Amino acid sequence: MKPALIVSLCAALFATRAIRLSPSDRGLGFDDLGFSPGLHKVLVPAANSGRLDLVDPDSGAVTSIFKGASTTYAGGHDEGITSADADGTRVFATDRTSNRLLVVDPKTGALLSSALLSGHPDYVRWVQTTHELWVAEPDEERIEVWSLGDDNALRSAGQMPVKGGPESLVIDARGQRAFTHLWKGVTLAIDLRKRAILSTWPNGCRGSRGIAFDPRDGIVLAACAEGKLVALDVNHDGRKVGAIATGGGVDVIAYNPTLRHAYVPAAESAEMTVVGLSAAGALTGLKVVPTAKGAHCVAADDRGHAWVCDPVHGQLLLFTDAVP
């Protein structure tokens, strides 16, 4: 390949564009971002706007499928709809202002059902094998569980205490486990059916934050607020197999299992580190790209994109990591 062509391809890999979600140049208190393969949409809880947005990964088109009460952005991410997940036909979200769990039809925007949570919600995650929604409630140090049937009715299914957490939440459907952190230095593996802690692993974080999971080789990625990503091998009792420094202010991370790339935005340094993961869990820094001050969350789609939140400007920054 000619050198000029190599330079051209490398330049194209991380071209960025902004996808505005706020109707004006005002901020949005983003927190959780995600991607639904079944819907083929980026899930964007638009926080204090009260909206639940879907973004087409190919066109960048934004569709608001639900609108709740809105508040004025004052920094932080404690207002409005801040977390979402999907099962391919329904979207699930938590509203921190109303403390409600929502089930929304992505095609019509209809609210199919809702339930008042018994605590202040953080993450919501769908558990396909048990048809349950797990809602992390760190203020109450627990996970609240709701069953959801084909009739869309939400039924309380109990609670699980997580002393010192939970922070972040990811589901391993194949292994029938959930992974979460305690706030300081510990990652937990939880049995989905028994709702019991299976293992407790030190992750080396002074402040545990985001989490991701590689199902192919059983690697949990733990993000540290102080600016570090750590790899834990769940098949060998959570042994630490990799670590790499990043910019400070790390929170929500994302992982593309096809590329085996992790995306680690750092709010303090206004940059994102792209990290390669080996089968053995070794971590390699591949690229550092500029983002925006306060950019602390990211989602990865199946088109080789990383979508980084820009809270101050109420928009998403789109990075292309690989051309499909």
143 or 11, which is more confident: 143
CATH number of the domain bearing residue 25: 2.130.10.10
Instruction: Give how many domains the chain has, as a whole number.
Output: 1
Provide the 10 A C-beta neighbour count for residue 233: 18
How high is the pLDDT of residue 138?
Answer: 97
229 Cα distance to chain centroid: 15
Q: What is the mean pLDDT of residues 254-265?
A: 97
How high is the pLDDT of residue 26?
Answer: 81
How high is the pLDDT of residue 4?
Answer: 36
Our separate counts of H helices and E strands in the chain read 1, 28
Q: What is the mean pLDDT of residues 94-111?
A: 96
Q: What is the mean pLDDT of residues 216-235?
A: 97
Which range of residues forms the domain containing residue 144? 3-320
Model confidence band, residue 323 (pLDDT cutoffs 50, 70, 90): low
Model confidence band, residue 25 (pLDDT cutoffs 50, 70, 90): low
Q: Considering the chain, what is the average pLDDT of its residues?
A: 92
CA distances from 32 to 55, 124, 239 (A): 14, 9, 27
Q: What is the mean pLDDT of residues 125-134?
A: 97
pLDDT higher than threshold 90 for residue 6: no
Q: What percent of the chain has pLDDT over 90?
A: 85
